[in-house]
Structures are given as C-alpha cells and as structure tokens.
A and B are shown apart, each in its own frame.
Chain A
Amino acid sequence: MSKVKSLEDLKKLREEMESKLVERNNSSNLVQIKVAMATCGIASGAKDLMEFLIDELDKRNIEAVVTQTGCMGYCYAEPTIEVTLPNKAPIVFGYVNLKKGDEIIEKYIKNNELVDGIIPVNYESIEK
C-alpha cells in the first residue's frame, strides 16, 4: 500500500472509494447487508448471524455483500441489520436471530415481502 503524500492524493483516493460505493449501490442485482457489530450486537449474537447470512446467501445463489458496521443505536432490538435491495432504500430490521435471518432472505430479499421487526431510522446524519 503506498502512502498518501498530499491532500490531492487523498482527494483522489476519496473519489475512487466514493465511486466504488456508488457503483455498488447502482449495481442491479447486488444485495447489501450491514450487520451492527458493536459489543452490544455481538453479545446478542451478531457474529453468528453474520456468518449465517454469508453462508446462506451463498448457498441460495444470491449475490450479496455482507459487511460489519458499528452501533446503529437500537440496543433494545439487537441484533440489528440493514438490508439494501437493488435500487431500494435501506431497511433496518431488529431482533434478527438466525430464524429471522432466514425469513429475511426468503421473504424480503427473494420476494420483496417485509417481515416483522422493522425499525424506522429515527435520526438524521450530517450530509457528507
């Protein structure tokens, strides 16, 4: 990995990464899942859930990227995940145990049918 030598370099790097993300968001069949993996999430089983999702999506031939992320703030509903279907707004699901994870794959990801446990995002973030 080469070091970033100037602000210009860094700006280029940012653009590169941004466009990668945009590409990912625009790809027509990629499902994106973020698993909240802070201490609270992991304590409620987020690690197992993440492995389960990676394995099962693969087995069921669904093209997806599953990544970890920090605390989304919904401690009362851990484990929580955010699912973004192609060209759709992200949806946050709470109380996702393995059974619920399976249901989310079968119903929401495959058939666009929502399942219980949706948490409306109740915060705004600064514009980036």
Chain B
Amino acid sequence: MAKIKKHLLVCGGTSCNALQNEVIASNLKETIREKGLNEEVQVMMTGCFGLCEKGPIVKVLHDNTIYIGVKPEDLKEIVEEHIINGNKVTRLLLDSDPNLKVHSKKQLRIALRNCGFIDPENINEYFACDGYLALGKVLESKDPQKTIDIIKKSGLRGRGGGGFPTGLKWEITSKSQADQKYVVCNADEGDPGAFMDRSILEGDPHSVIEAMAIAGYAIGATKGLVYIRAEYPLAIERLKTAINQSREFGFLGTDIMGSGFDFDIELRYGAGAFVCGEETALIHSMEGNRGEPTFKPPFPSVSGYLGKPTNVNNVETFANIPVIINKGAEWFAAIGTEKSKGTKVFALAGKINNVGLIEVPMGITLREIIYEIGGGIKDGKKFKAVQTGGPSGGCLTEVHLDTPIDYDNLIAAGSMMGSGGMIVMDEDDCMVSIAKYYLDFTVEESCGKCTPCRIGNKRLYEILEKITLGKGTLEDLDKLKNLSHVIKDTSLCGLGQTSPNPVLSTLENFWDEYIEHVTVKKCRSNQCKALMQYIIDPEQCVGCTACARNCPVNAITGERKLAHLINQDICIKCGACMEKCKFNAISIK
C-alpha cells in the first residue's frame, strides 16, 4: 500500500451545517478518485475549526492552507490547481477575507499559553517557554516600583470577578507599612461549572508560582499562600510538585537568583464553601477562623492575613503577569478594549456543541464565542440566553449577541464578567427555573451572617418555587423585585449584594415568561412539571397499551384497542409514555 502523502481536511462533526460538509467531503473524495490520487491523498472530516460563519472549510494539511466558503463546484479547481499543480486557489483563501486576517483564529492564549503545550510536572519545559525569566528581570531591575508601574500601565484587571486594577492593588499593598506582608493566590473557584483556575494550575503551575514571587518582590512580601479547595487534588499535587522543583532551582527560598530577595509559598486548603472565595472570608478561613466575610475597609491590602497587609489575586490574574513583564505593558494593553485589556478565559458550557475551555481577547462578541468558537447551539436548537458571572451574574440575550464583552459592558447589560463561567441556554430552558437554580445555590452557600442574605434569599427561592408550581401571582413578581433590591442594598459581602442578580436579570429580560407562569400557568419550555400535562389524543390513540405498560405509577387506563386516558392526579410527568408511543398520540399541553 502506497504511503499517504497529502491530506485534505473538511470541517464536519456535529456542528453547524453538517449536511453541506458531508457533500463537500464526498465530492472531494470522488474528485480525488477520478484523478487517480486516492492512494496518496486522503480526505478526512474533522471537528470544528471555530470558523463556522465561513464554512464549509477545506484545509490542505501539508502546506497549512485553509479555504473558506467552499462550494461543491470549487472542488475540482482545488484538486487540479493546488494538489496537482501546487498553486493555491487564491480567491478561496482564508487570508483573502480582510476581516479575518487579524483574527483568523478567534482565540488568543495568554493565561493558558502553556496549558496543553508543556508537561506541567517538568520544570525544564517551563524553562524552554521563558520560565522564570520575568522573575529574573524583575529582580535584576532592583526596582519594585518599576514592576508595579508596568502592571499598572498594562491595564490588567483582576480576573477573580471584581475587575479591580491589579497594578493599583499592588501599589496600595506596597505602600502599607508593616514588618510582614503576604501575597495570596485565590484558587477557591466556587462558581458552579467553572474550571478555569483549576486548568491553569493543572496545566501550568509554575506561571502562578513565578507571578506570586514577582508580586512578593513588588509589594515587599516574603511569604505567599495559595488558598485552594481540597476538591482539586490534581491541581494541589501539581502545584506541590512545581513548588518543590522551584525551590530546588532556587526560585523560591532565600536569596533568589542572588538578589537577596527571599520568598516562599505555602498551600492552604479550603473546604469548598463558595463564600470563602470572598477575600475577607478567605483570609479568616486561612487564619483558622470561620469563613465569614467582614466589613471592608480595612481592605486586605491594608490589614489582611494575621492583620498584615495582604495582596489577594486570582489564579488567572497571576498567570498573566510573567507575560506582561516579558512582552511589555504596551503589548498587553494593545489587546482588548479601552478599559478591559488582555484576554479572558471562559469555561464554555451548557447547550453548546464545543463545550470547553476558551481564552478570548476582551471585546469579542457573544456571537463569535457561541457560533464560531462554540460551534453553535446543540441539536440545531434556538439560542435563548447566556449566563455569565455565575450565581452573582445575570443573563445576556439575543439583543446582547453583538455587544463587545468586557467588564463594563457586561455590567451595563445587567450581568458581570465574574470569574469566567459561561453557560449557554436554548429554547428548552425555563428562565424562572434557572433563576431558582441559582438561588438554591446561594441559599446553600450564604454564610448566614446577615439577615437579608440568610433569610431574604430563602424567601426569594420560595417565591420562585411557588411560581414554578403554578401558584404564583402578579404580586409575587413585585415582591421578587422589591426583596431583591433590599437584599442587594443591605448585605455585607459580595455574595449577598449580588445573589439576587439572576432574579433581576431574568425578570428584566424574560418578563413574558414570568407573566406566562403566573397568569396562564404555562411554561413555554415545558420544564415546570406542575404547569404541564401529558395528554393522549383519543383520535390518534390506537389502544396499543405501550404507554400504560411503561408508566411507572400506573396512571394510564384504557382497554386494548380503545383510546387510553392519563389520570392527571396520579401522573408524575416523567414522559415515559410519550417516548414509548409510536403513534404520536401523546403530547404535552
């Protein structure tokens, strides 16, 4: 058998226009065969290129050429000109579209630069990727303020949710006078569905260690602490390995690289309480006290761990630092929008084809994330909303699809950046139930210190529950709104101050759905079981008894060959009958 020499890749898989792509692939194979090239040229369907808008895509592997918008009639030309004669078909080239030139790929990896590229347990591979070079430069400059100025100039803002300017935070901590200061890395990552920080620590732990040492030098701290949830055993393991390696080479310990600067890192484990991600609660938890937030000021940068100035930053924030030092503040500040620089890592989840970890420049639109990187909505369903910011955030809808994503725009749209959870919802998701889901989470996770948060969120949950059970009234909607504002205004920490956001944001964007739930008692997504009925159409039912035999609670009665009937008082709405009926006689009302 002759060895295959060339490969042609056609985008396919489950995403976008699978059918069209199949046609391209099979026609291409046919053309190759006609030319007698099938022994040496292989045509292959692949996963999504993240360029769905420009599909179908054909990639010539050996010279890395990408053709976009390929039609069946173009194939002959590609094969004859490119494969046989070696001349690219310029009019179809990806580069021929000026809009795509800059960002032919929508993703840019800065924080994730080494994830999936190096072996996280081998420090030598980190060295090959400029590892510890930034720390070396910072120490050699002998000027902590210069480092702070670089970070300030870069425009980097905290990736843990709040978006506070990192350089400014460092400056404040550096100006606080004390005999001891601390650098803390917040690796608590409590948002449901989020795993950005875990992935960074598992894939590139050295970058976080290096950045913490840089922060230590900049603010004048010799001790670093990583607060990490005990549920992340692999991240903990890799971090420990990396810390040990780093010590062996002298990047942690005393007199680092002959500079006279001492710095070392310890791990502290969290038990997985969401509220312990809040920086004051986190500090109390590290001190061995209850993980409850306290009033700010004093801010940790003035009085934090053990009453000493403490600089708390998120994992992803740290992961950006070495690159900024190495490539310069201007380089970093050129990426992103006016007030949000650089990139953001998101954990893309929900009803989307390409679930995964993505890193995109600030200013990208939701449309690009969902339809290009994400490969579109699963099963060709209709997009409904995206939830960002986790339990503190809100949802963005169709009208926000083209809004550039940055800290300020998301807040203006009634949501927030949060730490990077991004959950996509389709027409089958009931927005009242979604709000209820998040409230269920906050009720569980509230530390209980403030009455509005402890009791108010519970009441919010109960009202939402009442609405999903079909017992809600228009008054309840008013109550939801008022109570939400009271909780926001009177809670101590960020948890309570933001917990009603999912309610307010769904009320704002999906008012119609709430109204339907309380007035006509209908859930258009058929998620609220109390609001739906399975019914058998006597006209369609042939009396095959399939439904009755499969009903787990014997709710269906009827003689053989006669129309069956569902007793609504017994039915638990499991849907088994509808699935089993071959005659489409059962539907949801």
Contact = CB atoms under 8 A, between A and B. Distances in A.
User: Range of interface residues on chain B?
Assistant: 35 or more
Given A36-B116, A38-B234, A75-B357, 15 more contacts: A6-B136, A10-B132, A14-B128, A17-B128, A20-B128, A38-B203, A39-B232, A40-B195, A70-B200, A89-B61, A112-B4, A120-B59, A121-B105, A123-B106, A123-B359
A86 to B, nearest CB: 13
User: Range of interface residues on chain A?
Assistant: 35 or more
A109 interface: no
Contacts of A128: 113, 129-130
A111 B120 contact: no
Contacts of B202: 37-39, 70-71
A112 B7 CA distance: 9
Interface in B338-395: 353-359, 373
B131 interface: yes
Interface string A51-78: 0000000000000000111111111110
27 contacts: A1-B248, A3-B249, A6-B258, A17-B124, A17-B127, A21-B125, A37-B202, A38-B115, A69-B117, A70-B115, A71-B115, A73-B356, A73-B357, A73-B359, A76-B353, A77-B47, A89-B61, A111-B4, A112-B3, A112-B4, A120-B50, A122-B48, A122-B49, A122-B50, A125-B109, A125-B117, A126-B108
A4 B251 contact: yes
Contacts of B127: 10, 13-14, 17
A75 B46 contact: no
B11 A120 contact: yes
Contact of A118 (B47, B50, B357, B373): B47
A73 B112 contact: yes
B281 interface: no
A69 B203 contact: yes
B323 interface: yes
Q: Please provide the 5 A-B residue pairs with the shortest distance between their CB atoms, ordered closest to farther.
A: A70-B203, A3-B250, A122-B50, A123-B107, A72-B116
A34 interface: yes
Nearest to B117: A69
B315 to A, nearest CB: 13
Interface string A1-42: 101111101110110011011000000000000101111101
A69 B42 contact: no
A79 interface: no
B9 interface: yes
Contacts of A74: 47, 354, 356
B99 interface: no
Given A6-B258, A89-B61, A14 B249 contact: no
B193 to A, nearest CB: 11
A113 B42 contact: yes
Given A38-B203, A122-B48, A122-B373, A76 B4 contact: no
Interface string B563-584: 0000000000000000000000
B204 interface: yes
Interface in B106-146: 106-110, 112-122, 124-125, 127-133, 136-137, 139-140
B120 A70 contact: yes
Interface string B305-333: 00000000000000000010001000000
Contact of B120 (A68, A125, A126): A68
A38 to B, nearest CB: 4
A116 B129 CA distance: 31
Contacts of B359: 73, 123
Interface in B46-90: 46-51, 59, 61, 64
Contacts of A20: 124, 128
B492 interface: no
Interface string B194-223: 010011101110000000000000000000
B262 to A, nearest CB: 13
